[in-house]
Amino acid sequence: MLKYLSILCGLCLAGQQLSASDEELNRKADEVNRILWSRFIGKDNVMYDYTGLNGEVVLPTPEECAGDVPNALGWWTPIENGGFFNGMYLIAQCDRYDRNKTPENREKVRRLVAGLYKLQDVGTVPGFIARGVGSDGQCHYTASSNDQNFPWFLGLGRYLETDIPDEAERRECVERLVRHAEALQKQNWMIPGERPDFVRGWWLDGEYTACVHIATATRVLYEATGDEKWKKLHYELIRGKSPNGIERKVSIAAGPKNMANWSAWFLSNCQYAVRILLQRETDPELKKYYAASLRNTARGAASLILWYKKFNPTAERPAFTPDWHVMMPPFSPQKNGGEAAALALEQNKVWEKKSPAIAQEKGLVKPALCAAWIVALSEDEELKRGYMPEIRRMILHFDYSKFHYATFFYVENLVATLNETTSR
């Protein structure tokens, strides 16, 4: 009996901390917002991967992008993840606007949307989303990826749920979504590069992330257009089998096979997407699969929250340079995506030594924040209550003004979800 009361009191305390911390966490999210908009959103309205503390950034030139320098993926440059980061941060900014409909918050949403449009417009191949743009506002690297395309869909889908776009703007956004999806569909849902041998990702391969990607993209398309063909395709895909012979709903329910500090960031995007699928679904059977997925993914991620404790906020920060050229050489021309990735991994050995501040933030801060968001999205009330004290301590643990790597933007996604779930 005493043991039961102790557990009950612990859960109640966690709930009280969640409620009592709202304003403090909101102030932290506001601080993150100010830092990001002062340093990380470029003139082309696309988020940089990293900057100096005064916004220093070294953008690739048209010649460097055309020559696949440092690599055709743009890995380790400040324009590596524009589609990814803009899309996910747009979700947070739409949440922010819905809570506080100021002209400033509306303009931030519009700017991120403009950045996503830019990443679609600069490409020459249908279905291509650029990772970012270089010094002339147009040049970009050859390869895209699943990780650039999927948040592009998620962010614009969330934008259409706000009251920001007028009728003409809404039509443009929907047209862009449809145009992009139809281009991918014609290519058998493979993610194209600007050159034929730089395809990177396939949404039909049956792996957990691919199943979530194609299921959510088709759901977003149906919600945006009202066109029954996207609804029909969505359910055919969900209830159908992948090339590996497993039904996609089963792959989604199982959750990811590899939850680690290096994968939590893109898996948190999938967790957000699965919760969308759960919330929009009316079929009780499918809802059970999605609920199982949220629980399984969260339970696999939860322990990563504690990685924040490995980061000492009072210690002197490691070295940082905004100049990615320091990892050159090694360099060699690349004929395909595999060669580009192999080269990039060799370059990263140099980059981590020259700019260890980035490696530290990627390795400790990013996985902890993303794991916390995965848990917050889980719909698993017991798990959330159990981890909320650590989540709160983690958010307050860091001095974000000293960060160089942009993924601390997930603080805003996380706090928005905490606000939402505690107001139910």
Give all domains of the chain, ordered by start, each with its CATH number.
Answer: 2-422 (1.50.10)
DSSP helix/strand/coil, 317? coil
Burial class (CB in 10 A: 0-12, 13-18, 19+), 16: exposed
Report the 10 Å Cβ neighbour count for 280: 15
In this prediction, residue 422 carries a pLDDT of: 59
In this prediction, residue 147 carries a pLDDT of: 95
DSSP helix/strand/coil, 152? helix
> How far is 59 from 197, CA to CA, in rounded Å?
25
In this prediction, residue 22 carries a pLDDT of: 83
In this prediction, residue 419 carries a pLDDT of: 93
**How far apart, in Å, are the Cα atoms of 60 and each of 217, 317, 351?**
31, 26, 16
Those residues of the chain that have pLDDT short of 50 are 1-20
